[in-house]
Amino acid sequence: MDSHYLDCLEPDTRNLVADIEHSGGVEIEVTVDPSRALGKSGRAVPLACQVENGNARILTPRADYFPDASVVHELLHIQRFLSLGVPRILVAETFKGWTPELDNAMTNLDNSLEHLVIVPEELRRRPNRIAHWDQVMQRTLGEIPAAPFSQSDRDGLALMNYVFVAHVMPRGSLHEKARRLVEGLGLVDRASRFKAMLIPALGSKENAVAQCFEHLQLPVEMASLEYLESGQRTRGEEKPLRQIIRGLALPSNGD
């Protein structure tokens, strides 16, 4: 990483950069993307990361904006994919129903699933970030009921965010808000079963993805898992989700 940006970071974050660059066999780039300056409804857009085979970059809206806690979040994403070999969800190459919207939906699902692992580690490193995540989730839970989605997409979003609140956030008003959300959508039983099966599966991305597709009622043939190249692997690989699930010994959800 360029020294201009490294100098903005806390010592432990600089160490995390060094660990990822060494184990992942990459230099983490920082790219200024002015289009990220403002988001929907005038809300500021946070940092983002792009991770491909043998390449990782953090996107920032301007050169003088590189907050340490946000960088930690993006580094944890990069570490999972490049250093730890955790796969990510893609639309399968063989799936005939590909659309840009479906591609975006799989990216969002993967991001939500990754947050169940990344955000607890982020909060361990930066406890003050709890205020940020409380604000994000208050807004997200409030927007879901009126969002312009199909019923199945709205249900899936509600279920994923319910599990996030239950797993990541301290007890409080968010838990009650998440409970009221799934109750209003008639999802109380599904939400309870999903939480009970997904959280114990988080140690294995493959198991966690399988639980998501089962409980969100998604067709497994639409997805693959992509394993990226790193310093530890000679090439990336894409595996159909159906094939992966056949090789898993999954616990029963009691249905």
The first and second tokens of residue 153, run together, are 């997409």
Predicted confidence pLDDT, tens digits, the chain (255 residues): 999 999 999 999 999 999 999 998 899 999 999 888 765 555 667 899 999 988 999 999 999 999 999 999 999 999 999 999 999 999 999 899 899 999 999 999 999 999 999 999 999 999 999 999 999 999 999 999 999 999 999 999 999 999 999 999 999 999 999 999 999 999 999 999 999 999 999 999 999 999 999 999 999 999 999 999 776 555 578 999 999 998 886 655 544
The first and second tokens of residue 205, run together, are 């991305």
The first and second tokens of residue 59, run together, are 């996107």
Entry pTM = 0.93
The first and second tokens of residue 157, run together, are 């979003």
Last residue within a domain, chosen from 58, 84, 110: 84
The first and second tokens of residue 192, run together, are 């309870």
> Residue 47's domain spans which residues?
1-84
For residues 164 and 115, is the Cβ–Cβ distance under 8 A? Answer: yes
DSSP class of 221: G
* Domain total in the chain: 2
**252: alpha, beta or left, given left = phi > 0 and alpha = psi -120 to 50?**
beta
> Do residues 66 and 105 share a domain?
no
Last residue within a domain, chosen from 66, 84, 102: 84
Supply the DSSP string of 64-102, one letter for each residue.
Answer: T---HHHHHHHHHHHIIIIIS---EEEE-TT-TT--HHH
Last residue within a domain, chosen from 62, 84, 106: 84
Nearest to 79 by CA among 40, 25, 33: 25
> Do residues 41 and 107 share a domain?
no
> Do residues 235 and 154 share a domain?
yes
> Do residues 127 and 217 share a domain?
yes
3-class secondary-structure state, position 60 = strand
> Do residues 6 and 29 share a domain?
yes
> Do residues 113 and 202 share a domain?
yes
> Rounded CA gap, 164 and 167, in Å?
5
Residue 137, CA distances (Å) to 19, 25, 142, 174 in order: 31, 35, 8, 7
Nearest to 169 by CA among 213, 212, 122: 122
> Rounded CA gap, 242 and 246, in Å?
6
For residues 170 and 130, is the Cβ–Cβ distance under 8 A? Answer: yes
> Do residues 67 and 121 share a domain?
no
> Do residues 124 and 38 share a domain?
no
